[in-house]
């Protein structure tokens, strides 16, 4: 009879940074990429930020695959053994977060940034571990619809959640937008919605504008 088993193993993870951890850092960003991306393909969007005041850390998802061959992409999780994958990347992100926070000033402003699938990734580890942070930027992503957010209202009450979406995003139609707004309302989430002219991508100019207007 076939039986399924699991075992925890060590795995080498990769991440990219801009800036150097020090007491001078004013803003710490933890950035998670979208499905099919690599961390190197998202962190360059942050190159315009001051490298002394900002520390940007972009972990790469643990599962890689050929994406539009020969290009390699990564994914944070699939539906296959999804709970194990969520537990794995939660430990991974918590480890990255703790490693850098311990090197920074207690006054540092903490910003979580998730693009597309990376938004769901951030939501899952945030609610599981409840780390300290100030801002969560959801860029062209969706909150996981299998989570309950109402029990976390006290935890999230002093944190700002910003939702950024291109008005021509090819993965969001009117039905999806209507669902999102209703879901956010039903779950007691306080999203600050902002649209920009563009598609399913991170616009560097808009990113800087969002920081200057909302995250400083």
**How many angstroms separate the CA atoms of 55 and 191, rounded?**
25
Q: Token pair of 157, please?
A: 């009450």
Domain regions of the chain by residue span: 15-159
Beta-bridge partner residues of 37: 74
Predicted confidence band of residue 181 (pLDDT cuts 50, 70, 90): very high
What percentage of the chain has pLDDT greater than the value 70?
A: 100
Residue position matching structure tokens 């933890």 = 30
15-159 in CATH: which number? 3.40.50.1820
- What pLDDT score was predicted for residue 67? 83
The model's pLDDT over 26-38, given as tens digits with 9 standing for 90+, comes to 999 999 999 999 9
Evaluate if residue 8 carries a pLDDT over 90. no
Beta-bridge partner residues of 30: 57, 112
The model's pLDDT over 86-110, given as tens digits with 9 standing for 90+, comes to 999 999 999 999 999 999 999 999 9
Evaluate if residue 69 carries a pLDDT over 90. no
Higher pLDDT, 67 or 113: 113
- What pLDDT score was predicted for residue 207? 98
Closest CA to 192 of 167, 168, 169, 215: 215
CA distances to 73, 109, 115, 159 from 68, in Å: 9, 37, 20, 38
Higher pLDDT, 136 or 70: 136
Predicted confidence band of residue 111 (pLDDT cuts 50, 70, 90): very high
Query: pTM for the whole thing?
Result: 0.96
Predicted confidence band of residue 57 (pLDDT cuts 50, 70, 90): very high
- In eight-state DSSP terms, residue 44 is G
The model's pLDDT over 112-127, given as tens digits with 9 standing for 90+, comes to 999 999 999 999 999 9
**Burial classification of residue 213, based on how many CB atoms lie within 10 Å of its CB (0-12 exposed, 13-18 middle, 19 or more buried):** exposed
Closest CA to 166 of 124, 138, 135, 134: 138
């Amino acid at each position: 009879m076939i039986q399924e088993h699991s075992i925890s193993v060590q795995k080498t993870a990769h991440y990219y940074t801009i800036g150097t951890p020090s007491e001078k850092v004013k803003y710490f960003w933890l950035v998670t990429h979208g499905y099919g991306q690599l961390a190197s393909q998202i962190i360059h969007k942050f190159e315009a930020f001051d490298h002394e005041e900002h520390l940007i850390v972009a972990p790469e998802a643990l599962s890689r695959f050929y994406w539009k061959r020969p290009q390699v992409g990564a994914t944070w999780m699939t539906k296959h053994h999804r709970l194990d994958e969520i537990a794995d990347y939660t430990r991974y992100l918590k480890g990255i977060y703790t490693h850098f926070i311990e090197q920074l000033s207690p006054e540092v402003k903490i910003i979580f940034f998730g693009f597309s699938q990376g938004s769901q990734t951030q939501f899952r580890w945030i609610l599981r571990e409840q780390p300290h942070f100030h801002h969560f930027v959801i860029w062209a992503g969706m909150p996981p619809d299998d989570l309950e957010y109402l029990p976390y209202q006290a935890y999230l009450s002093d944190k700002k959640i910003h939702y950024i979406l291109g008005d021509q995003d090819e993965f969001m139609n009117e039905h999806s937008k209507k669902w999102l707004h209703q879901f956010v309302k039903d779950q007691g989430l306080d999203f600050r919605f902002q649209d920009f002219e563009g598609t399913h991508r991170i616009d560097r100019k808009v990113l800087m504008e969002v920081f200057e207007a909302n995250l400083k």
